């Protein structure tokens, strides 16, 4: 099994942190400064049963200037090139216009999309389920997986779900 997996989401949700965690190396710059990731960064993870090519992308936001426009295009273009899309959100942030913008983009994607609720280490456990329920109503996510990319919580389980999908 092998496949290309795009990691998309608003700036700062933890996309690069996730890539670095699964690859086990700091290949993508992580920062609390938005727009640190300015291009596509690929990381390959090889297991006995599967090979994953993860593609970290610039955060998707409504572009306000030319560079932003270019970066968003990079992220959106990957959607058509991959086998699976990981749409990552920050568990701490509420559902906002930025998420709606990405959800609208996802409507035209005919690939399986997993919702990854990241940074669950920052919220109370009982607050995870309502988030899952909220997002379930908005899109037919193939899987909804709460993780902490920072701590690696639930990441092995996510990798197994991805392998099943490829």
Nearest to 13 by CA among 122, 91, 77: 91
Which residue in the set 31, 39, 46, 100 belongs to the binding site for ligand GDP (CB under 6 A)? 31
How many CA atoms within 13 Å lie on the side-chain side of 61? 15
154 binds, among Mg ion, ligand GDP, none (CB under 5 to 8 A by kind): none
> Is 58 known to sit in a ligand binding site?
yes
**Does position 32 bind ligand GDP by CB under 6 A?**
yes
**Does position 16 bind ligand GDP by CB under 6 A?**
yes
* Spatial distance between the Cα atoms of 85 and 139, rounded to a whole number of angstroms: 13
> Is 130 known to sit in a ligand binding site?
no
60 binds, among Mg ion, ligand GDP, none (CB under 5 to 8 A by kind): none
Sign of the CA dihedral with 131 first, then 134, 135, and 140 last: positive
Give the pairing type, strands 2-9 and 84-90.
parallel
Q: 24: phi > 0 → left, psi -120 to 50 → alpha, else beta; which?
A: left
**Does position 154 bind ligand GDP by CB under 6 A?**
no
> Is 109 known to sit in a ligand binding site?
no
Stretch that binds ligand GDP, among 31-39, 40-48, 79-87, 105-113 (CB under 6 A): 31-39
> Is 59 known to sit in a ligand binding site?
yes
- Residues at the annotated binding site? 9-16, 56-60, 118-121
- Residues at the annotated binding site for GTP? 9-16, 56-60, 118-121
């Amino acid at each position: 099994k092998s496949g290309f997996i795009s990691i998309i989401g608003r700036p700062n949700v933890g996309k690069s942190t996730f890539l670095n965690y699964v690859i086990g190396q700091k290949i993508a710059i992580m920062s609390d400064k938005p727009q640190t990731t300015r291009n596509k960064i690929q990381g390959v993870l090889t297991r006995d049963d599967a090979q994953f090519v993860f593609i970290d992308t610039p955060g998707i936001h409504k572009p306000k200037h030319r560079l932003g426009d270019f970066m968003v295009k990079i992220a959106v273009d990957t959607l058509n090139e991959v086998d699976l899309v990981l749409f990552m959100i920050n568990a701490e942030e509420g559902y906002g216009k930025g998420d709606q913008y990405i959800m609208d983009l996802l409507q035209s994607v005919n690939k399986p999309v997993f919702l990854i609720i990241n940074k669950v280490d920052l919220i109370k456990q009982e607050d995870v389920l309502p988030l899952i329920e909220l997002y379930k109503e908005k899109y037919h996510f193939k899987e909804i997986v709460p993780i902490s990319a920072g701590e690696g919580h639930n990441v092995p389980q996510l990798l197994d779900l991805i392998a099943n999908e490829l």
